[in-house]
Structure 1
Amino acid sequence: MSYRGLILDFGGVLTTRMRLNGQAFEKSEGLQPGAYFAALNDHPEGVRVYADLEVGRATQEDWNQTIGKILGIDPTDLMRRALANLRPEAVIIDAVERARTAGIKVAMLSNSFGLEPFNPYAELGMLDGFDAVILSELEGVRKPSTLIYERTLAALELTGPECVFVDDHAQNLPPAEALGITTIHHTDPDETVRQLDALLDRLAA
């Protein structure tokens, strides 16, 4: 198989791990361990506002206010503080650059964190260096909906079997696979790069 496209998630793939970022945020805000993750994943209002933010039904300020209230902390510019410890994942960024140099089209596909007042993609320099940037907030649909993968393929002007998709959430992979996309479940940056090298004819070698 000759691959012509590479699609990568943002948080936790192109960046350092989201869980480590969240743990650092909890520590910086004086929260109990696990409190932030519980607010996002277990609290009904937290789950709702995050889902709405991802598809543009809620603003980042709505998220700031809701999550701040759940956690009992100052909501001012909360998303910026919550993502303050994210950094570009160097070995993945290097792999992206090598792939593009080799003529492979590269897309970033992200369930959005919102763009205002804090734009994490711009903050980490992630709006350049890609052939396509697909953000769920702007599309009105989020992973794992099949539609957002179809839009990413259309933006790259490629078919599913021509592409590889990397995501750290296993539930996001089956809809991509159903379109013929080869998937990698990202758990370790070095292992992901090893798999990419093998799939993309060892273009990084």
Structure 2
Amino acid sequence: GVSYKAVVFEESGVLLPAPHRTATEWEARSCIPAGTVQQAALSGGENSLSLQYSRGELTAVEFLQELGQQCFEIANVRVPVHSFLWDLIRKEVRKQLPVMAEAAQCIRAEGLQTALLGHSLCLGHGERLLPLDQQHFDVVVESPQEGVPRPNPGIYKLCLERLGVQPQESILLDSSSQNLEAAAQLGMKIVKVDDPAAALKELETHLGFPLQGFVPYTRSVRPGMEIPKDHLQKYLEDVLGAHPTAPLELRQFDHGESTRSYLVKFGGRLLVLKKEEEPPSGPSGPFVPREYRVLKALAEAGVPVPPLLALCEDRSILGSPFLLLEHCAGRIHRAAS
């Protein structure tokens, strides 16, 4: 299969919903004739306001001005389009944006790059409309600043050049068929975003790892480092006295030499499992039991450490000794400095 190195997220329609999608409910509440906003946004074919906006040819301010004028001509009534846009953002971004942002974090945790294709969604005073931490992205390309509107293939070439990857090593998420066609002609893999959840499922199949359940410093379990979930599930049920209905989920911390560290989602709890390496010959070293004893002594002395849950030296469970403790969020320092 193809080994992908980067995923490119379009801003409008992927991180932000397309402008006309929640218009029906808003029109009913605002006493605006049904279909006014959608007609205003979509009429005009390839030159419709919606497509101009998604291609980055209109800023949010220009889009709102044009949309208000079109609505007035259609319905012969002044339409508070600013109210519509903010209603859209409040309602839809709460659902869509966190899901996509988490996907971007999962992608980067696997060592792939991410890029954001934006078009300066600002509403006066330079305030950015998209409430997104751009640190989720290795590269951010703004169409107006580059002078290359989508679906001009040049914007994708520029993005790929800055990522340092070939088209066939990248995937584009976009809601515009026109944009996707231009990217596909370059050789990029494309995923159309009509329903965000369905699009992310499709992206998971291409990438081969989950795009939810992100916890800092973790990634999907590396090949060859899997542990038997059924054995662990039974052990946790016995030790913790809980029987959650949701399946047990595993991620792996991206550090550790003499031990393997896993994040375990068991019901509503996040646990850390530290397991001995399995050397090709001879017994495992005493790293895990020794760490357990040190942590236990520190806890008894009043030193803050994550709550210890269990030490298991029965090799029939996971093949080597392991300890369990509660997960505590924090920062992992990779160097003494």
Give me the TM-score of the superposition, normalised by structure 2: 0.51
Q: Which residue of structure 1 lines up, in the alignment, with residue 41 of structure 2?
A: 40
Note the aligned Cα RMSD (angstroms): 3.2
Structure 1 position 10 matched with structure 2 position 16: no
Q: Secondary structure at the match of 1:12?
A: coil
Q: Which residue of structure 2 lines up, in the alignment, with residue 98 of structure 1?
A: 106
Q: Which residue of structure 2 lines up, in the alignment, with residue 66 of structure 1?
A: 66
Q: Which residue of structure 2 lines up, in the alignment, with residue 163 of structure 1?
A: 170
More strand by proportion, 1 or 2? 2
The 1-side partners of 2:192 and 2:48 are apart by 23
The 2-side partners of 1:187 and 1:49 are apart by 15
Q: Which residue of structure 2 lines up, in the alignment, with residue 201 of structure 1?
A: 208
Give me the TM-score of the superposition, normalised by structure 1: 0.78
Q: Which residue of structure 1 lines up, in the alignment, with residue 128 of structure 2?
A: 119
Does structure 2 conserve the Cα–Cα contact (< 8 Å) formed by 1:50 and 1:63?
no
- Listed as ranges, the matches of 1:70-89 within 5 Å are 70-72=70-72, 73=78, 77=82, 80-81=85-86, 83-84=88-89, 85-88=91-94, 89=96
Flag the structure with more relative contact order, 1 or 2, with Cα contacts below 8 A and sequence separation at least 6.
1
More helix by proportion, 1 or 2? 1
Of residues 78-87 and 26-35 in structure 1, the stretch that sits farther from structure 2 once superposed is: 78-87
Matched length = 200
Q: What's the offset of the Cα at 1:48?
A: 6.4
Does structure 2 conserve the Cα–Cα contact (< 8 Å) formed by 1:164 and 1:181?
yes
Structure 2 letter corresponding to 1:159: Q
Q: What's the offset of the Cα at 1:116?
A: 3.7
Structure 1 position 150 matched with structure 2 position 151: no
- Listed as ranges, the matches of 1:167-186 within 5 Å are 167-186=174-193
Q: Percent identity?
A: 22
Deviation per CA, 1:114-161: give whole Å up to 9, x if none.
42415222xx22533111222222222222111111111122121101
Q: Secondary structure at the match of 2:7?
A: strand
Q: What's the offset of the Cα at 1:183?
A: 0.8
Structure 1 letter corresponding to 2:99: V
In our comparison, the structure showing a higher alpha carbon Rg is 2
Q: What's the offset of the Cα at 1:32?
A: 2.0
Closer, same or farther: CA 64–196 of 1 in aligned 2, 3 Å = closer
Q: What's the offset of the Cα at 1:101?
A: 0.8
Q: What's the offset of the Cα at 1:187?
A: 2.5
Counterpart pick for 1:128 among 131, 135, 145: 135
Closer, same or farther: CA 109–24 of 1 in aligned 2, 3 Å = farther
Closer, same or farther: CA 92–50 of 1 in aligned 2, 3 Å = closer
Does structure 1 conserve the Cα–Cα contact (< 8 Å) formed by 2:6 and 2:169?
yes
Closer, same or farther: CA 161–3 of 1 in aligned 2, 3 Å = same
Q: What's the offset of the Cα at 1:23?
A: 3.2
Structure 1 letter corresponding to 2:40: A
Give runs of ≥4 in structure 1 deviating > 6 Å.
none
Does structure 1 conserve the Cα–Cα contact (< 8 Å) formed by 2:49 and 2:63?
no
The 1-side partners of 2:82 and 2:197 are apart by 33
Gaps of 5+ in 2: 73-77, 212-219, 221-337
Gaps of 5+ in 1: none
The 2-side partners of 1:30 and 1:43 are apart by 25
Q: Secondary structure at the match of 2:209?
A: coil
Q: Which residue of structure 2 lines up, in the alignment, with residue 190 of structure 1?
A: 197
Closer, same or farther: CA 99–9 of 1 in aligned 2, 3 Å = same
